[in-house]
Chains A and B, each alone.
Chain A
């Protein structure tokens, strides 16, 4: 029989979820601290287990390889940091912590399956497991109108996206007669590019586009990001995006390598449209969460270029970019959370004169935004450098030029925030320094370290990503 051992990380995380649920039921309100500790321990055990478990397949649906391990490590790190973000969630938001953590971890579990899935049904279930807890979490504060609104919009569009994806899967199944991604390749070579196959592929691309938040499937992003509790926004922007990209890599690289010319052209256009629209739309924003939402759309536009340059260099650049993006984005959201705790506002005006009130927070925000913009020697620079180089070497020069222009454009609104922090005077009533709790401090220190370390010395992660991708592409 199959080797159950390979599933061990997922099993541990699933047990953690159940344990948190049970402990939440039986514990009194003053014991809530244990829920967080339990989640952290569970995640840490999963990470450790992840690197112990050998590579291999479980049946024909689940594959634990280097790529899966890399993506899972990113996601679990994001999960860990977001749990720390939400350490005293119940106190700040007045909503129960137990269910919150259960939903969060469930969504993480879903992404773990996405990272390993090699079969369409499993991938679909993984996707649902990832998305629906996130919908619930977005609408987690129903008293807040924005939260409810964002949740509803997210729900409807997620359903639409999932339906389109599933429809695409079924068309492909109709053409090829299998749901196993590796078996698709010979089957589709036999059928050729019939309208059925092309339509199926198209629907799959649209479904992936929803998950990666590419224009025009991105419309839910600003509302959901703005409405969700900020810790969830952070998770959505980092882990949610990672899930979309790993799903795309799995499906397209394993199932549709023959049709590469079809989908890489589509992605090239989507990448161009996405980064332009994301950056332009970010310019007039005055709400930090909306600004970062549009920034994340633009970032998705850059990352998808890695799929256009569908080679070792392109794919490994995606992996590196996702790592760099994780640190920079979580650092930025960490500062947003800290400011939101003290001023109850996510408007840009709450950041005026932050440098005078809390110079360290201001510095972290500065580093995070400059890294997102791709300024050396921060992580974002190396990430953009490798990504653009990969696309350039595949011959998409117009796309690289556009991406570079877009990077310059993005500086406009990143610097707008930096200007608010460093140059504008604080409001008369906002003179107190922002207090940062310990859990949040840990996240900020870790992410800042990541931004600097990955930028100054990118080689280890770059080499690891390359190794993983080479193994993935040559089975």
Chain B
């Protein structure tokens, strides 16, 4: 059965090729073709899921791609374990929902065919990334998802913000990718393999210890930091919201940005082998979680609020992994995919209706957009982590993981993040959906093709949590056969978490629904803090300052060196080559006599060289 797994990524690839080749002519069918392909991929993924529920043992299939003279082999292969199947189902499912939704959302767009070709290309790359059995392949698909993300952020390339955002995402993630690549090469050099299972075994048997192990783990983590928008490389994700909203839902909320978390989970033994690396992962994640959550509290753009929320939640997952909470991280990835995709799609539905991203220009939309409003409320409650919605279970798992690891500081940080999360998401909900309409646009409910995916995702956001225990055994099976699941069943943690959520909710309720506390008064009272948050801690400005005053000076010097010395050398070589070419061309005079002369001359030269190297032969000749 595993031999057929390649069909899963190939179907969307085929759809991408067909749609791209058909061009304008296929405009009307583009959506159906790519959604159809991904539908079948989903069916197959679900079959795999069912099969692995019965027998969760990892299965691998691979072919040799290139074999070098040494014993380092590059393979093409697939590794399927519970982690893979979960990712397969998440990716194909969210992709299907988003594509169906896009048929409505992008109905009027000129470049529909291009859009669906890109999104199918992305799905292919993401599925390839998930299935790959070795790190070289992971890296290839890693770059491919980066490319498709770039293409889709800059989809409306005539808008300068969109084009710039695409570039920014591409360049910023490249910093992390470089580290990732170096990490892979170092691994290959020391372990002589790129295979994920073999790397895992090597790490578990203590071949990756001390400085080397930490170094490799941190290099790989650099890639994850870039792709999953962790501090300090988080700055590209909010800008990426310039892309079409369904793209934000699929790529920049549910799947691609989770690739960093997936990567850490995939090579988890490499991380667990080094305490330092785990510590770094945990604290980078924890810091990002609270850092991004505070920014989300004061944003005005509906998509940017959700973007910072995504950054924060990804930080949560990293924190869980860093604390050794493998299940917690992966499970939160899964539930987050459902409710965050839903939040984005609902936001898209709102934007579609009122043609603005600014939450203050919306208001009172619940009356006119019943389905969107209700589903968004469900997603918001799930994100806040209220029992019995899915977010509750995964968030609690994360907090328990911090407790198990004995990191009380991270536990407190996590609970405080929960408070902030609850505040900003209900702030968004109250401002957009309740109160008086502020918009001149008469909002209206979106067509069924858009609301159907909303409702489907809402059901999942509600229901996924009930399978937490079942999933726990399943997911942890990825790590090896018999790993004990231990918890300190502390009732205080969920209680504190719930209080935090309640407090956040109450705060948002008082300020934005009841308007008992004036928001403007608050901002004036804490004006310094407000400014700091509003400007996202001035991180972009710091980067800009650095780029403008430090890097540009350095690079001006380098540019001079490059232009004068390097280019000079390159141009010199090119000039030399051209001259040599022209010179050799002159040898080819075109006269037959010259050709024969060359032939015979060659023969003579060879004969002489042979005689010179064989003095004994020379001696025989009289």
Binding site for B on A (CB under 8 A): 152-153, 156-157, 160-161, 164, 193-195, 198-199, 202-203, 205-206, 209-210, 215-217, 219-220, 222-223, 262, 265-266, 277, 280-285, 313, 382, 385-386, 389-390, 392-393, 409, 412, 456-459
Are A281 and B588 in contact (CB-based, < 8 A)?
yes
Indicate which residue in B64, B577, B592, B614 contacts A153 across the interface (CB closer than 8 Å): B592
Q: List 9 A-B contacts (CB under 8 A).
A: A153-B595, A157-B595, A202-B607, A206-B602, A219-B588, A219-B595, A385-B68, A389-B69, A457-B65
In-complex Cβ contact of B69 among A157, A219, A262, A392 (8 A): A392
CA distance A428 to B25 in the complex (A): 27
State whether B581 touches A393 (Cβ < 8 A): no
**What is the total number of residues of chain B having a CB less than 8 Å from a CB of chain A?**
35
Task: Bits for B587-620, please: 1 = Cβ < 8 Å to A, else 0.
Answer: 0101010111011011100110110011001001
Q: Are B69 and A277 in contact (CB under 8 A)?
A: no
Taking the closest CB of chain A, its distance from the CB of B382, in whole angstroms, is 42
Contact A217 B602 (CB under 8 A): yes
A281 adjacent to B594 (CB under 8 Å): no
Task: Tell me if B486 counts as interface (CB < 8 A to partner A).
Answer: no
Contact A283 B69 (CB under 8 A): no
- The verdict on A283 contacting B577 (CB below 8 Å), with A217-B599, A459-B65 known, is yes
**Among candidates A215, A281, A382, A412, residue contacting B66 with C-beta atoms closer than 8 Å:** A382
How far is it, in angstroms, between the C-alpha of A202 and the C-alpha of B607 when the chains are bound? 7
Which single member of A160, A277, A459 contacts B599 (CB below 8 Å)? A160
Among candidates B65, B581, B590, residue contacting A284 with C-beta atoms closer than 8 Å: B581
Contacts A202-B610, A216-B598, A392-B69 given; does A459 touch B64 at CB 8 Å: yes
- Chain B residues closer than 8 Å to A456, beta-carbon distance: 65, 76
Q: Are A409 and B577 in contact (CB under 8 A)?
A: yes
Complex contacts, B577 vs chain A, CB 8 Å: 280, 283, 409, 412
Question: Given A284-B578, A390-B69, A220–B595 Cβ distance below 8 Å?
Answer: yes
Name B607's closest neighbour in chain A (CB-CB).
A202
* Given contacts A195-B620, A223-B590, A284-B585, A393 and B599 within 8 Å (CB-CB): no
**A152 with B603: CB separation less than 8 A:** no
B574 close to A (CB within 8 Å): yes
Residues on the A chain within 8 Å of B590, using CB: 223
Shortest beta-carbon distance from A311 to chain B in Å: 11
Contact: A219 with B610, CB < 8 Å? Answer: no
**Chain B residues with Cβ under 8 A from A198's Cβ?**
610, 614, 617
Interface contact B68-A389, CB-CB below 8 Å: yes
Q: CB < 8 Å: which of A194, A223, A266, A390 contacts B606? A: A266
Contacts A156-B596, A199-B607, A216-B601; is A283 near B65 (CB within 8 Å)?
Answer: no
Contacting pair A222 B617 (CB below 8 A): no
CA gap between A364 and B595 in the complex, in Å: 35
Within 8 A of A (CB), among B551-594: 574, 577-578, 580-582, 584-585, 588, 590, 592, 594
CB B603 to nearest CB in A, in angstroms, measures: 5
Q: What 10 pairs between A and B have smallest CB-CB spacing?
A: A283-B581, A216-B602, A219-B595, A393-B69, A284-B581, A281-B584, A389-B69, A280-B580, A216-B598, A280-B581
A209 to B580, alpha carbons, bound, how many Å?
Answer: 23
Q: Is the CB of B584 within 8 A of A194?
A: no
B549 interface residue, CB < 8 Å from A?
no
Interchain CB contact under 8 A, B66 and A219? no
Question: B621 on the interface (CB 8 Å rule)?
Answer: yes
Q: Which residue of A lies closest to B574 (CB)?
A: A412
B20 to chain A, nearest CB (A): 11
A164 to B584, CA, bound (A): 26
**A281-B621 contact given A198-B610, A199-B607, CB 8 Å threshold:** no
Smallest Cβ-Cβ distance to A214: which chain B residue: B602
Complex CA gap A210/B600 in Å reads 11
Q: Which residue of A lies closest to B68 (CB)?
A: A389
With a CB–CB cut-off of 8 A, which chain A residues contact B190? none
> Which residues in A have their C-beta under 8 angstroms from that of B578?
283-284
Q: B596 near A160 (CB under 8 angstroms)?
A: yes
In residues 67-114 of chain B, which contact A (Cβ within 8 Å)? 68-69, 76
Contact A210 B599 (CB under 8 A): yes
- Extra 14 A-B pairs, beta carbons < 8 Å, given A156-B596, A216-B599: A153-B592, A156-B592, A161-B599, A193-B614, A195-B621, A198-B614, A202-B603, A206-B606, A216-B598, A262-B610, A382-B66, A386-B66, A389-B69, A457-B63
Q: Does B66 lie within 8 Å of A206, measured CB to CB? A: no
Q: Are B620 and A194 in contact (CB under 8 A)?
A: yes
What chain A residues lie within 8 Å of B592 (beta carbons)?
Answer: 152-153, 156
- Cβ-defined contact, B620 with A219, below 8 A: no
Residues of B with C-beta under 8 A to A217: 598-599, 602
Q: How far is the CA of A456 from the CA of B13 in the complex (A)?
A: 15
Cα of A47 to Cα of B127 in the assembled complex, Å: 40
Could you tell me the distance between the alpha carbons of A358 and B404 in the complex, rounded to whole angstroms? 64
- Report the Cα distance A222→B602, complex, angstroms: 18
Chain B's closest residue to A266 (CB) is B606
Among residues of B, the one whose C-beta sits closest to the C-beta of A219 is: B595
- A44 vs B621: C-alpha distance when bound (angstroms): 55
How far is A386 from B584 in the complex, measured between Cα atoms in Å? Answer: 30
Task: Tell me the residues in window 361-391 of chain B with beta carbons closer than 8 Å to chain A beta carbons.
Answer: none
Q: How far is the CA of A193 from the CA of B616 in the complex (A)?
A: 10
- A284–B609 Cα distance when bound, in Å, is 32
Q: Of the candidates B65, B574, B585, B594, which one forms a contact with A458 in the assembled complex, judged by CB atoms under 8 Å apart?
A: B65
User: Which residues of B are found within 8 Å of A393, using beta-carbon distances?
Assistant: 69
- Residue with the highest number of chain B CB atoms closer than 10 Å, among A202, A216, A382, A412: A216
Q: Report the bound CA distance from A58 to B599 in whole Å.
A: 36
B605, closest chain A residue (CB): A216
Asked whether B603 lies within 8 Å of A164 as measured between CB atoms, the reply is: yes
Complex CA gap A454/B466 in Å reads 49
Q: How far is the CB of B73 from chain A (nearest CB, A)?
A: 10
Residues of B within 8 A of A280 (CB): 577, 580-581, 584
Q: Kindly list chain B residues whose C-beta atoms are within 8 Å of the C-beta of A281.
A: 581, 584-585, 588
- Which chain A residues border B614 with CB–CB below 8 Å? 193, 198
Chain A residues closer than 8 Å to B69, beta-carbon distance: 313, 389-390, 392-393
Q: How far is the CB of B620 from chain A (nearest CB, A)?
A: 6
The docked-state distance in angstroms from the alpha carbon of A392 to that of B601 is 31
- In the assembled complex, the CB of A469 is this many whole angstroms from the nearest CB of chain B, namely 15
Smallest Cβ-Cβ distance to A376: which chain B residue: B66
With A and B bound together, what is the CA distance between A60 and B292 in angstroms? 82
Contact present for A195 and B603 (CB under 8 Å)? no
Task: Tell whether, in the assembled complex, residue B596 and residue A203 are in contact, meaning their CB atoms are under 8 Å apart.
Answer: no
Across-interface contacts of A392 in B (CB, < 8 A)? 69
Contact B602 A209 (CB under 8 A): yes
Q: Is the CB of A222 within 8 A of B610?
A: no
A210 to B595, CA, bound (A): 12
B617 and chain A: residue at smallest CB distance: A195
Structural contact, B606 and A202, CB atoms closer than 8 A = yes
Q: How close is B583's CB to chain A, nearest CB, in angstroms?
A: 8
- By beta carbon, the residue of chain B nearest A381 is B66
In the bound complex, how far is the Cα of B69 from the Cα of A167, in angstroms? Answer: 40
B contact residues around A382 at 8 Å (CB) = 66
Contacts of A385 in B (CB 8 A): 66, 68
Q: In the docked arrangement, what's the CA distance between A393 and B70, Å?
A: 9
* Contact B603 A206, beta carbon cutoff 8 Å: yes
The answer to whether B68 touches A284, judged by C-beta atoms less than 8 angstroms apart, is: no
On chain B, the residues within 8 Å of A203 by CB distance are 603
Q: How far is the CB of A414 from chain B (nearest CB, A)?
A: 14
A219, A223, A459 interface centre (most CB from chain B within 10 Å): A219
